[in-house]
Amino acid sequence: MNLEPLLSDRLAPALEAVAGVWMDPAVRVSPHADFQSGAPLALARTLGRPPRDIAAEVAAKADLDGLAEIAVSGPGFLNLTVSDHFITEALDAMAGDRRLGVPLTGEPRRIVVDYSGPNVAKEMHVGHLRSTIIGDALARILQWQGHEVLRVNHLGDWGTPFGMLIEHLISEGAEGEHSLGDLTAFYRAARAEFEASEEFRTRARLRVVALQSGDPATRVLWRRLVERSEQAFLAVYDRLGVALGPDDFAGESSYQDALADVVSDLDRAGLLVESDGALCAFPAGFTGRDQTPTPLIVRKADGGFGYAATDLAALRHRVRDLGATELLYVVGSPQRAHFQMVFALARAAGWLPESVSAEHIGFGSVLGADGKMLKTRAGETIKLAALLDEAVARASAPEIGLAAIKYADLSGDRRGDYVFDVDRMLASTGNTGPYLQYAYARVRSLFARSDTVPGPVLLDHPAERALGLALLGWEPAVRSAAELREPHRLASYLHDLAATFSSFYERCPVLRAEPAVRASRLTLADLVAHTLHIGMFLLGIPVLEEI
């Protein structure tokens, strides 16, 4: 149930009659009434009439029978008060529907969600944590709406770093099995050797060539690195309760065979320019600080392909072979320009028809208590596992620690940075994951203590009415989270709902009420529990029946 458009639609004819043209009544939730429209104020200038007169005329003409009461307020607002009868009927219908009144979409899209994307032989860091958590929530929300969601994990498993790492492992006699932690250390040592030794650089380059040309011994070592890393990433997903599995890996390496073709396609379309031996594209509208066009390097001077080429091949594959109609890339904000250029070039090449959308879903950084990028004391990026360990160790149950971390990541606008503060995240009050878990468990406990069957909703107390209206906000909350790709809209909604339930519960006894009222209040409580349950599932926050 989305009351805003419902009220808007009913108000629009009256507004049109007064304005002489159609205009959006812009009905919004308001602290002064259930909903409010400021349209008469906007109209006053064009009509040259006092806004209150306009408001009164619209109110007199509006046909809101059975839905709401309308009244002029303040300088010319229209206050809308939804009728109790309408609310109770809507709640009773919601109570009888597993999806709480949100139908499956009638226009399912095929949506590729590219998220997590860690790099082989490197431990996942907090940036990957954000991508993993936000991407997973978006995938869940879109899937719940009825879209076909393809989760894709664009693993960084190819390129020069692997030549370097493999060469280092060979020269150390360390070709055997290693944990991801060890590999990360080897990687660091390889990097140092690469910087220090010309001779090693040459060997590392030759090793890249061996890898790319399919030298069997090199490939075996590389496969081992990839498999070891994949196992470690899958263990993290499992721990996070994230729905990314082995079949979702589509690493950069999987596009290697398509790269030559990508280049010749672009070349034939006249989109490539040679610059210092490299093949570059200059999609229109991208310039650097000094206004010179920014290149997207498609093939490097040494003939190797980089990150951009792989993303171009991946995009083409997703649209052409997977049939995607929507592409989402949940990747940190610093890569914004990369994706904008890839999308622009793909459009120019004809790989991204107008009917297919591509969006970079950027997000901000995780900061330490000092407001700077989260780093260890030694100045290294903090590993994801360490953060999880800390939250879980401090929480009274692992699910609570997990809820704390995930919710903290999802509850603010994703574009913003946030401070990693375990104490705040774990608090059982405030806008936190544990608060939702406690709220849910508290509502559920009512049912353990009652044998009354929930019954038709009655709205006698203002707190009941407020809770009823809050419940009807479910559909718009899910919709806006999905359309704007902003999980925090759903998080805020769930938090507000839990808080509204809490003030209802303080004022309106449930189990001690007389039978019909008790049955009604149990229906409200059941709706709250059900809404929190689905909502938390969509955010990937674990639900506990008892805490």
The CA distances from residue 520 to 92, 210, 232, 347, in Å, are 10, 72, 49, 55
Contact segment (CB under 6 A) with ligand ARG among 39-47, 111-119, 173-181, 505-513 equals 111-119
Distance CA 106, CA 113 (A): 20
Q: Smallest gap, in angstroms, from Cβ of residue 430 to ligand ARG?
A: 32
Q: Smallest gap, in angstroms, from Cβ of residue 239 to ligand ARG?
A: 19
Distance CA 275, CA 299 (A): 10
Distance CA 241, CA 225 (A): 24
Q: Smallest gap, in angstroms, from Cβ of residue 409 to ligand ARG?
A: 17
Q: Smallest gap, in angstroms, from Cβ of residue 130 to ligand ARG?
A: 11
Q: Smallest gap, in angstroms, from Cβ of residue 374 to ligand ARG?
A: 16
In terms of CB distance, is 115 or 407 closer to ligand ARG? Answer: 115
In terms of CB distance, is 311 or 326 closer to ligand ARG? Answer: 311
- Which one among 70, 101, 114, 162 touches ligand ARG, defined by CB under 6 A? 114
Phi and psi at 419, nearest 5°, equal: -90, 130
Which residue, judged by CB position, is nearest to ligand ARG in the bound state?
117
Nearest to 110 by CA among 68, 147, 61, 136: 147
In terms of CB distance, is 70 or 124 closer to ligand ARG? Answer: 124
SS3 379: coil
In terms of CB distance, is 312 or 478 closer to ligand ARG? Answer: 312
Contact segment (CB under 6 A) with ligand ARG among 113-121, 201-209, 358-366, 401-409 equals 113-121
Q: Is 338 exposed, middle or buried (0-12, 13-18, 19+ CB in 10 A)?
A: middle
Name the packing angle between helices 398-410 and 433-448 (round to 10°): 120
Q: Which residues ranging from 288 to 327 are in contact with ligand ARG (CB under 6 A)?
A: 311, 314
Q: List all residues 6 or more positions away from 250 whose beta carbon is below 8 Å from its beta carbon.
A: 152, 153, 154, 155, 314
Q: Is 329 in the site for ligand ARG (CB under 6 A)?
A: yes
Token output for 213? 């040309």
Q: Is 362 in the site for ligand ARG (CB under 6 A)?
A: no
In terms of CB distance, is 259 or 395 closer to ligand ARG? Answer: 259
Instruction: Tell me, by CB under 6 A, how many residues bind ligand ARG.
Output: 9
Handedness of CA 248, 252, 256, 260 (dihedral sign): positive
**In this structure, what DSSP letter does residue 457 have?**
-
Q: Is 117 in the site for ligand ARG (CB under 6 A)?
A: yes
In terms of CB distance, is 25 or 117 closer to ligand ARG? Answer: 117
Q: Smallest gap, in angstroms, from Cβ of residue 467 to ligand ARG?
A: 42
Q: Is 331 in the site for ligand ARG (CB under 6 A)?
A: yes
Q: Which residues ranging from 143 to 162 are in contact with ligand ARG (CB under 6 A)?
A: 154, 156
Q: SS3 letters for 29-61?
A: ECCCCCEEECHHHHHHHHHCCCHHHHHHHHHHH
Q: Smallest gap, in angstroms, from Cβ of residue 265 to ligand ARG?
A: 19
Cα-trace Rg, the chain: 28
**In this structure, what DSSP letter does residue 71 have?**
E
Q: Is 119 in the site for ligand ARG (CB under 6 A)?
A: yes
Contact segment (CB under 6 A) with ligand ARG among 114-122, 271-279, 374-382, 400-408 equals 114-122
SS3 209: helix
Q: Can you give the binding site for ligand ARG, defined by CB under 6 A? A: 114, 117, 119, 154, 156, 311, 314, 329, 331
